[in-house]
Structure 1
Amino acid sequence: MILYKADDDLMCKVFAMTLGEAAQDWFCTLPSASIRNFKKLARIFTKEYTSYKMVRKHADHLFNLRKKPNESLRDYLRRFKAEKANIIGCNHQVASLAFKKGLPTEHELYRELAITPSQTLAKVFETAERYALWNNDHIAAKKASKQVDHLIKQASQKSNKFEHKAQDKRISRPQEGGSETETFSEFTIPINQILAQVKDKP
Protein backbone atom coordinates (compact mmCIF):
# COMPACT_ATOMS: atom_id res chain seq x y z
CA MET A 1 0.00 0.00 0.00
CA ILE A 2 3.07 2.27 0.12
CA LEU A 3 2.41 3.02 -3.56
CA TYR A 4 -1.12 4.28 -2.76
CA LYS A 5 -0.52 6.02 0.59
CA ALA A 6 -1.68 9.36 -0.87
CA ASP A 7 -5.11 7.86 -1.65
CA ASP A 8 -6.92 7.95 1.74
CA ASP A 9 -10.15 6.39 0.43
CA LEU A 10 -8.33 3.37 -0.99
CA MET A 11 -6.15 3.00 2.16
CA CYS A 12 -9.27 2.94 4.38
CA LYS A 13 -11.11 0.41 2.20
CA VAL A 14 -8.15 -1.96 1.85
CA PHE A 15 -7.35 -1.74 5.57
CA ALA A 16 -10.92 -2.73 6.42
CA MET A 17 -10.56 -5.81 4.18
CA THR A 18 -7.61 -7.05 6.26
CA LEU A 19 -9.59 -7.16 9.54
CA GLY A 20 -10.65 -10.40 11.20
CA GLU A 21 -14.23 -11.27 12.22
CA ALA A 22 -14.35 -9.42 15.58
CA ALA A 23 -12.59 -6.36 14.15
CA GLN A 24 -14.88 -6.43 11.10
CA ASP A 25 -17.89 -6.33 13.46
CA TRP A 26 -16.34 -3.36 15.27
CA PHE A 27 -15.66 -1.59 11.94
CA CYS A 28 -19.31 -2.03 10.89
CA THR A 29 -20.48 -0.31 14.10
CA LEU A 30 -18.69 2.95 13.15
CA PRO A 31 -21.16 5.71 12.19
CA SER A 32 -21.56 6.23 8.47
CA ALA A 33 -19.24 8.91 6.98
CA SER A 34 -17.41 9.32 10.33
CA ILE A 35 -13.99 8.50 8.82
CA ARG A 36 -12.58 11.30 6.66
CA ASN A 37 -9.02 10.04 6.20
CA PHE A 38 -6.72 7.13 7.00
CA LYS A 39 -5.03 9.03 9.84
CA LYS A 40 -8.35 9.22 11.71
CA LEU A 41 -9.09 5.53 11.02
CA ALA A 42 -5.66 4.60 12.38
CA ARG A 43 -6.24 6.72 15.50
CA ILE A 44 -9.66 5.24 16.43
CA PHE A 45 -8.51 1.70 15.58
CA THR A 46 -5.45 2.06 17.84
CA LYS A 47 -7.63 3.53 20.62
CA GLU A 48 -10.00 0.54 20.37
CA TYR A 49 -7.33 -2.16 20.33
CA THR A 50 -4.46 -0.71 22.41
CA SER A 51 -5.37 -2.92 25.39
CA TYR A 52 -4.59 -6.02 23.27
CA LYS A 53 -1.05 -4.88 22.60
CA MET A 54 1.62 -7.09 24.20
CA VAL A 55 4.03 -5.18 26.40
CA ARG A 56 7.55 -5.72 25.16
CA LYS A 57 9.64 -7.48 27.80
CA HIS A 58 13.27 -6.64 28.52
CA ALA A 59 16.07 -8.99 29.55
CA ASP A 60 15.62 -7.78 33.18
CA HIS A 61 12.30 -9.68 33.22
CA LEU A 62 14.26 -12.98 33.32
CA PHE A 63 15.50 -12.15 36.84
CA ASN A 64 11.89 -12.51 38.06
CA LEU A 65 11.87 -16.21 37.12
CA ARG A 66 12.50 -18.70 39.92
CA LYS A 67 12.54 -22.49 39.99
CA LYS A 68 9.50 -23.55 42.02
CA PRO A 69 10.07 -25.98 44.93
CA ASN A 70 8.15 -28.87 43.31
CA GLU A 71 9.16 -28.00 39.75
CA SER A 72 11.57 -30.31 37.92
CA LEU A 73 14.76 -28.83 36.48
CA ARG A 74 13.56 -29.73 32.97
CA ASP A 75 10.28 -27.81 33.46
CA TYR A 76 12.13 -24.76 34.82
CA LEU A 77 14.51 -24.88 31.85
CA ARG A 78 11.58 -25.13 29.41
CA ARG A 79 9.77 -22.22 31.09
CA PHE A 80 12.92 -20.07 31.09
CA LYS A 81 13.58 -20.73 27.39
CA ALA A 82 9.98 -19.83 26.52
CA GLU A 83 10.25 -16.50 28.37
CA LYS A 84 13.64 -15.74 26.80
CA ALA A 85 12.20 -16.39 23.32
CA ASN A 86 9.72 -13.50 23.89
CA ILE A 87 12.56 -11.02 24.45
CA ILE A 88 13.89 -9.55 21.20
CA GLY A 89 17.69 -9.17 21.14
CA CYS A 90 18.13 -10.72 24.58
CA ASN A 91 21.68 -10.42 25.91
CA HIS A 92 23.03 -13.95 26.42
CA GLN A 93 25.26 -13.02 29.35
CA VAL A 94 22.29 -11.46 31.19
CA ALA A 95 20.18 -14.57 30.39
CA SER A 96 22.92 -16.85 31.80
CA LEU A 97 23.07 -14.85 35.05
CA ALA A 98 19.27 -14.78 35.33
CA PHE A 99 19.02 -18.56 34.80
CA LYS A 100 21.56 -19.24 37.56
CA LYS A 101 19.87 -16.67 39.85
CA GLY A 102 16.56 -18.52 39.48
CA LEU A 103 18.01 -21.75 40.89
CA PRO A 104 18.06 -22.53 44.63
CA THR A 105 21.58 -21.92 46.00
CA GLU A 106 21.74 -25.50 47.36
CA HIS A 107 21.03 -27.00 43.91
CA GLU A 108 23.93 -28.96 42.34
CA LEU A 109 23.56 -27.06 39.05
CA TYR A 110 23.82 -23.70 40.86
CA ARG A 111 27.18 -24.80 42.32
CA GLU A 112 28.35 -26.00 38.89
CA LEU A 113 27.47 -22.65 37.26
CA ALA A 114 29.03 -20.70 40.14
CA ILE A 115 32.33 -22.60 39.76
CA THR A 116 32.47 -21.92 36.00
CA PRO A 117 30.73 -18.51 35.60
CA SER A 118 32.04 -17.58 32.13
CA GLN A 119 30.05 -20.19 30.19
CA THR A 120 28.08 -19.18 27.10
CA LEU A 121 24.28 -19.39 27.27
CA ALA A 122 24.33 -22.43 24.95
CA LYS A 123 26.79 -24.15 27.31
CA VAL A 124 24.64 -23.25 30.35
CA PHE A 125 21.58 -24.79 28.70
CA GLU A 126 23.59 -27.88 27.67
CA THR A 127 24.82 -28.34 31.27
CA ALA A 128 21.27 -27.86 32.57
CA GLU A 129 19.97 -30.52 30.13
CA ARG A 130 22.58 -32.98 31.45
CA TYR A 131 21.57 -32.28 35.05
CA ALA A 132 17.86 -32.57 34.13
CA LEU A 133 18.51 -35.98 32.54
CA TRP A 134 20.43 -37.15 35.61
CA ASN A 135 17.67 -35.76 37.86
CA ASN A 136 14.99 -37.70 35.95
CA ASP A 137 17.03 -40.92 36.18
CA HIS A 138 17.57 -40.34 39.90
CA ILE A 139 13.81 -39.82 40.49
CA ALA A 140 12.97 -42.94 38.43
CA ALA A 141 15.51 -45.01 40.40
CA LYS A 142 14.06 -43.77 43.72
CA LYS A 143 10.54 -44.69 42.59
CA ALA A 144 11.70 -48.15 41.51
CA SER A 145 13.49 -48.64 44.84
CA LYS A 146 10.33 -47.63 46.75
CA GLN A 147 8.26 -50.09 44.71
CA VAL A 148 10.73 -52.91 45.43
CA ASP A 149 10.72 -52.06 49.16
CA HIS A 150 6.90 -52.03 49.13
CA LEU A 151 6.76 -55.47 47.43
CA ILE A 152 9.30 -56.90 49.89
CA LYS A 153 7.26 -55.51 52.79
CA GLN A 154 4.05 -57.01 51.40
CA ALA A 155 5.73 -60.40 50.88
CA SER A 156 7.11 -60.27 54.42
CA GLN A 157 3.67 -59.46 55.87
CA LYS A 158 2.10 -62.35 53.94
CA SER A 159 4.85 -64.68 55.10
CA ASN A 160 4.26 -63.63 58.73
CA LYS A 161 0.52 -64.26 58.36
CA PHE A 162 1.14 -67.77 57.02
CA GLU A 163 3.57 -68.48 59.89
CA HIS A 164 1.00 -67.32 62.48
CA LYS A 165 -1.69 -69.49 60.88
CA ALA A 166 0.63 -72.50 60.87
CA GLN A 167 1.46 -71.90 64.56
CA ASP A 168 -2.23 -71.61 65.41
CA LYS A 169 -2.90 -74.93 63.67
CA ARG A 170 -0.04 -76.61 65.53
CA ILE A 171 -1.28 -75.23 68.86
CA SER A 172 -4.90 -76.31 68.24
CA ARG A 173 -3.86 -79.85 67.15
CA PRO A 174 -3.69 -82.28 70.09
CA GLN A 175 -0.27 -83.67 71.01
CA GLU A 176 0.62 -87.26 70.11
CA GLY A 177 -0.41 -89.69 72.80
CA GLY A 178 -3.06 -87.25 74.07
CA SER A 179 -6.51 -88.31 75.06
CA GLU A 180 -8.20 -86.30 72.31
CA THR A 181 -8.59 -87.96 68.91
CA GLU A 182 -9.01 -86.20 65.59
CA THR A 183 -12.34 -86.69 63.85
CA PHE A 184 -12.78 -86.71 60.09
CA SER A 185 -15.87 -86.37 57.90
CA GLU A 186 -16.52 -89.38 55.77
CA PHE A 187 -17.86 -88.69 52.28
CA THR A 188 -20.56 -90.91 50.83
CA ILE A 189 -19.81 -89.85 47.22
CA PRO A 190 -16.46 -89.75 45.36
CA ILE A 191 -14.32 -86.60 45.78
CA ASN A 192 -14.32 -85.81 42.04
CA GLN A 193 -18.14 -85.47 42.11
CA ILE A 194 -17.95 -83.10 45.06
CA LEU A 195 -15.36 -80.93 43.28
CA ALA A 196 -17.54 -80.84 40.15
CA GLN A 197 -20.47 -79.54 42.21
CA VAL A 198 -18.55 -76.78 44.02
CA LYS A 199 -16.15 -75.59 41.29
CA ASP A 200 -18.30 -72.49 40.35
CA LYS A 201 -19.05 -71.52 43.96
CA PRO A 202 -17.03 -68.94 45.91
Structure 2
Amino acid sequence: MPIVEQYTGTTDPEDHLETFKSLLFFQCASDAIMCRAFPSTLKGVARQWFSRLPPRSFSNFTALGRAFLAHFVSSRVHKKTAANLLAIKQQPEESIRSFLTRFNKEALQVQNLDPIMKFQALRSGIRDIELKSH
Protein backbone atom coordinates (compact mmCIF):
# COMPACT_ATOMS: atom_id res chain seq x y z
CA MET A 1 0.00 0.00 0.00
CA PRO A 2 1.31 3.52 -0.81
CA ILE A 3 2.40 5.55 2.19
CA VAL A 4 0.51 8.68 3.22
CA GLU A 5 2.72 11.49 4.49
CA GLN A 6 2.12 12.01 8.19
CA TYR A 7 -0.01 14.98 9.15
CA THR A 8 1.50 17.32 11.75
CA GLY A 9 -1.28 19.89 11.99
CA THR A 10 0.43 22.57 9.91
CA THR A 11 -0.74 21.75 6.38
CA ASP A 12 -4.18 21.53 4.79
CA PRO A 13 -6.18 18.90 6.73
CA GLU A 14 -8.63 18.48 3.85
CA ASP A 15 -5.80 17.52 1.51
CA HIS A 16 -4.51 14.97 4.03
CA LEU A 17 -7.94 13.47 4.61
CA GLU A 18 -8.72 13.21 0.88
CA THR A 19 -5.36 11.59 0.16
CA PHE A 20 -5.93 9.06 2.92
CA LYS A 21 -9.49 8.29 1.81
CA SER A 22 -8.57 7.86 -1.84
CA LEU A 23 -5.75 5.45 -1.02
CA LEU A 24 -7.88 3.35 1.30
CA PHE A 25 -10.95 3.40 -0.93
CA PHE A 26 -8.67 2.12 -3.70
CA GLN A 27 -7.73 -0.75 -1.38
CA CYS A 28 -11.46 -1.41 -0.69
CA ALA A 29 -10.85 -0.84 3.02
CA SER A 30 -13.83 -1.09 5.32
CA ASP A 31 -14.96 1.79 7.50
CA ALA A 32 -13.51 0.07 10.57
CA ILE A 33 -10.10 -0.39 8.93
CA MET A 34 -10.07 3.26 7.87
CA CYS A 35 -10.79 4.31 11.46
CA ARG A 36 -7.97 2.09 12.74
CA ALA A 37 -5.48 3.10 10.05
CA PHE A 38 -6.03 6.86 10.19
CA PRO A 39 -4.06 7.49 13.43
CA SER A 40 -0.96 6.00 11.81
CA THR A 41 -0.97 8.99 9.43
CA LEU A 42 -0.84 11.49 12.31
CA LYS A 43 2.22 12.95 13.99
CA GLY A 44 2.96 15.49 16.72
CA VAL A 45 0.01 17.65 17.76
CA ALA A 46 -2.28 15.78 15.37
CA ARG A 47 -1.48 12.47 17.07
CA GLN A 48 -1.93 14.13 20.47
CA TRP A 49 -5.37 15.35 19.39
CA PHE A 50 -6.36 11.86 18.34
CA SER A 51 -4.99 10.21 21.48
CA ARG A 52 -7.12 12.54 23.65
CA LEU A 53 -10.35 11.42 21.99
CA PRO A 54 -12.47 9.20 24.22
CA PRO A 55 -12.64 5.56 23.08
CA ARG A 56 -15.46 4.84 20.61
CA SER A 57 -16.04 8.58 20.05
CA PHE A 58 -17.14 8.01 16.47
CA SER A 59 -19.40 5.43 14.92
CA ASN A 60 -17.85 5.70 11.45
CA PHE A 61 -14.98 7.19 9.47
CA THR A 62 -17.11 10.04 8.13
CA ALA A 63 -17.65 11.31 11.69
CA LEU A 64 -13.95 10.94 12.48
CA GLY A 65 -13.07 12.86 9.32
CA ARG A 66 -15.47 15.68 10.21
CA ALA A 67 -13.99 15.98 13.70
CA PHE A 68 -10.47 16.00 12.24
CA LEU A 69 -11.34 18.79 9.78
CA ALA A 70 -13.12 20.80 12.46
CA HIS A 71 -10.18 20.59 14.84
CA PHE A 72 -7.55 21.57 12.26
CA VAL A 73 -9.69 24.13 10.40
CA SER A 74 -7.15 26.90 11.10
CA SER A 75 -4.59 25.06 8.95
CA ARG A 76 -6.96 24.80 5.99
CA VAL A 77 -5.68 26.26 2.74
CA HIS A 78 -8.24 28.53 1.16
CA LYS A 79 -8.95 27.95 -2.50
CA LYS A 80 -7.75 30.58 -4.96
CA THR A 81 -10.34 32.49 -6.98
CA ALA A 82 -10.27 34.71 -10.03
CA ALA A 83 -10.22 37.68 -7.66
CA ASN A 84 -6.80 36.52 -6.42
CA LEU A 85 -5.51 36.78 -9.99
CA LEU A 86 -6.70 40.37 -10.29
CA ALA A 87 -4.38 41.27 -7.42
CA ILE A 88 -1.27 40.01 -9.24
CA LYS A 89 0.63 42.91 -10.74
CA GLN A 90 3.92 43.04 -12.61
CA GLN A 91 6.58 44.59 -10.37
CA PRO A 92 8.57 47.59 -11.66
CA GLU A 93 11.78 45.62 -12.24
CA GLU A 94 10.12 42.30 -13.10
CA SER A 95 10.53 40.98 -16.63
CA ILE A 96 7.43 40.02 -18.58
CA ARG A 97 8.65 36.42 -18.60
CA SER A 98 8.98 36.33 -14.79
CA PHE A 99 5.57 37.94 -14.40
CA LEU A 100 3.95 35.43 -16.77
CA THR A 101 5.56 32.53 -14.91
CA ARG A 102 4.31 33.86 -11.57
CA PHE A 103 0.85 34.62 -12.96
CA ASN A 104 0.46 31.18 -14.56
CA LYS A 105 1.55 29.45 -11.37
CA GLU A 106 -1.25 31.22 -9.50
CA ALA A 107 -3.78 30.68 -12.30
CA LEU A 108 -3.24 26.91 -12.13
CA GLN A 109 -4.53 27.00 -8.56
CA VAL A 110 -7.91 28.50 -9.55
CA GLN A 111 -10.49 25.83 -10.25
CA ASN A 112 -12.84 26.29 -13.22
CA LEU A 113 -11.16 29.52 -14.28
CA ASP A 114 -12.98 31.23 -17.12
CA PRO A 115 -10.46 31.90 -19.93
CA ILE A 116 -11.84 35.41 -20.46
CA MET A 117 -11.42 36.21 -16.77
CA LYS A 118 -7.88 34.83 -16.89
CA PHE A 119 -7.06 37.02 -19.89
CA GLN A 120 -8.53 40.12 -18.22
CA ALA A 121 -6.60 39.49 -15.02
CA LEU A 122 -3.39 38.93 -16.97
CA ARG A 123 -3.94 42.07 -19.00
CA SER A 124 -4.64 44.18 -15.91
CA GLY A 125 -1.44 42.96 -14.25
CA ILE A 126 0.92 43.90 -17.08
CA ARG A 127 2.66 47.26 -16.64
CA ASP A 128 3.73 47.79 -20.26
CA ILE A 129 0.97 49.86 -21.90
CA GLU A 130 2.19 49.12 -25.42
CA LEU A 131 2.05 45.39 -24.77
CA LYS A 132 -1.52 45.73 -23.45
CA SER A 133 -2.69 47.50 -26.59
CA HIS A 134 -1.80 44.63 -28.93
TM-score by length of 2: 0.65
* SS of equivalent residue, structure 2 residue 91: coil
Structure with greater proportional helix content: 1
- Structure 1 residue 27, shift from structure 2 partner: 2.1
* SS of equivalent residue, structure 2 residue 110: coil
* SS of equivalent residue, structure 1 residue 15: helix
Higher relative contact order (CA 8 A, sep 6+): 2
Q: How many residues align?
A: 106
Aligned to 2:117: 94
Structure 1 residues 88, 31: closer, same or farther in 2, change over 3 A? closer
- Structure 1 residues 150-198: Cα deviation after superposition (integer angstroms, max 9, x where no partner): xxxxxxxxxxxxxxxxxxxxxxxxxxxxxxxxxxxxxxxxxxxxxxxxx
Structure 1 residues 64, 11: closer, same or farther in 2, change over 3 A? same
- Structure 1 residues 98-154: Cα deviation after superposition (integer angstroms, max 9, x where no partner): 1111122x5331122xxxxxxxxxxxxxxxxxxxxxxxxxxxxxxxxxxxxxxxxxx
Structure 1 residues 50, 86: closer, same or farther in 2, change over 3 A? same
CA distance in 2, matches of 1:78, 1:52: 27
Corresponding position: 1:65 with 2:91:
no
Give the alignment of 1:66-145 within 5 angstroms: 66-104=89-127, 106-112=128-134
Q: Is the 8 A contact 1:57 1:87 kept in 2?
A: yes
Which is higher, the Rg of structure 1 or of structure 2? 1
- Structure 1 residue 24, shift from structure 2 partner: 2.9
- Gaps of at least 5 residues in structure 1 are 113-202
- Structure 1 residue 4, shift from structure 2 partner: 2.3
* SS of equivalent residue, structure 1 residue 21: coil
Percentage of identical aligned residues: 24
* SS of equivalent residue, structure 2 residue 120: helix
Segments of 4+ moved more than 6 angstroms? none
Structure 1 residues 36, 93: closer, same or farther in 2, change over 3 A? closer
Match of 2:59 among 33, 37, 60: 37
